[in-house]
A and B are shown apart, each in its own frame.
Chain A
Amino acid sequence: MKYLKQVVIVTRWEFGRFFKPKNEALGIVIMIVASVAFYFGGKYAFSETDKKLEITVYNDTDVKLTEFMSTSYAVKTMPKEDKRKFIEHMKKEGDGVLLESGSGNFVVYAYKNTGNIKKLKAHLTEYHKQTEMQKIGISTDELTAILSPAPVIESFVYTNNSSKRVVLSYFFAGLMIMAVFLSFAYQFTAITGEKQLKITEQIVSAISPQIWMDGKIFGISLIGITSMLTYAIMSILGAMLIFQFTNLPASSILDYIYLPSILLYLPFALVGILIWNAILAAIASIITDPNNSGKSALMMLPVLFVLASFLVIRDPDSSLSIFLSWFPLTSATSMPMRWAITEVGYWQLAGSFILLLLTFYFFRKLAAKIFRVSILITGKEPTFSEVYKLSKHK
């Protein structure tokens, strides 16, 4: 009971230290403003490109080509003799495109190679294709039919609507990466900061290293989870808004929100975040000065493991996917992903989850032990072997 009470006190303290509702709200506002700015900025940028690019051709250019180009470009003509003058002007002004055609090829003169030249080449390719088709007497429809894939109608007994469930899996994995990243930042500040401020000894004279570690792991995980939920709600609202813009009913979001997936994902993600927090706390315990520690790079480990779980999407029934869905450092995201797109037995879900819980139990014990040893080492940062030796010593 005393353990629980003290863990709750430390958890609340750690949560309160770092979770600032004002900052969280500010972050959301910035995100909304940035999204709106990107949306309208993008529209503006596209409206710029909607302006037809001016292309100059010679007076005697094939009418068919001129007409074809006119559909997408503002075509101007000039006498062939003015070519040198045009190029000199182009060099001086840094602007203008001259298109030469003849004997089956095209020559493009431009000041520099930009995205517009790439588009022009695509346009000329289309013109070339149509000209060649006419030569051999094939219509556009006929060519489309030749190049189209075989008409296969898919009908699966299992995993119906799985593509939408995969979207949800990606979404959850993304949220988990976000939560772990946040934890990474806070856990680092919480532990190395306390070591640098020399508070640690004061704290461990009052509570056991295990209580201290558990409080930190729970408190900072809670921040990650709170942010994860906040952004999940924001994303759902954002998606509903986008559906409105695309003339789809807001209720289309329900196609993606598959409740069983969510109910499965939440406990897995929760324990996954706790595991990573325990690992990050253990690493942070050894680091004396985060600015000069070679061990800081280890804090990036969780992202690699979460990203590895995306391999499941390629073939959820492969041996690798099965391994990833059981391996505790990847299973928090891999198992729910597999479950979303393939058949996974309940015993597998339960087994993987129990393994995840046991791993968390192990890592929180390990983190407390490493912390207990590392506070004894002052001055230079301990190596892993020194920590190991001291932990065996007592």
Chain B
Amino acid sequence: MILKVESINKSFHEKSAIKDISFEINGGEILSIIGPSGAGKTTILRCINGLERCDGGSIEICGLKLCKEENNQCIYPSPKKLRKLRSNIGMVFQGYNLFPHLTVLENIIEAPINGFNVAKNDAENKAIELLDMLGLKEKVNSYPFELSGGEKQRVAIARACALNPKLMCFDEPTSALDPELTDDIAKIIEKLAQEGMAVLIITHDMAFAKRISQRIIFIEAGKILSAINIKPFLSE
């Protein structure tokens, strides 16, 4: 199991955003979380990648605790450990959040080189391999402003893959794409899963979620309403 979320809670200014959320994702599995806007989808994602701190509950990634509850408080590891732990989680933001002043290649190798001391050569080879897989090889030296929306998204995926994460998170991956591009991103996500990654998708695109996921979790007002299995998933 890659990700295990156990009854996490989060409030903003006393107002509960998510409540008692629990689920798990295995390697190779694609799970979508669906719900109306304001339901807390993004908050769940932000708790998992550590951008928000949970008020309660625990999150485990690859057997390591991102946070655990002790005496009604959520305990997080030191910033250094947290950074290490986070390299297991890849994140593709809704707005992609590429670094505009860096080329496509520099965007991808920034974290491996300057965050995790990977040798420049190794980082570049890995980046080019990823870009090749995503059909962006000729864009290596382009800047983000020179790319289309779909290309930016693929660069964001390559950047998130550069540290070989075990879990890949997507925030509304289809929100800015044309229908024909939706199929491309679906294929890319499936490929990541085939390579053994656990994939978590936050979306309100029901058709997309049905097309791609093994399981869908429906949430409303910060709580899980139901979960359905779409495709049978052969466990590791």
Q: Do A and B bind each other?
A: no
Residues of B in contact with A (beta carbons under 8 Å apart): none
Interface, chain A (partner B; CB < 8 A): none
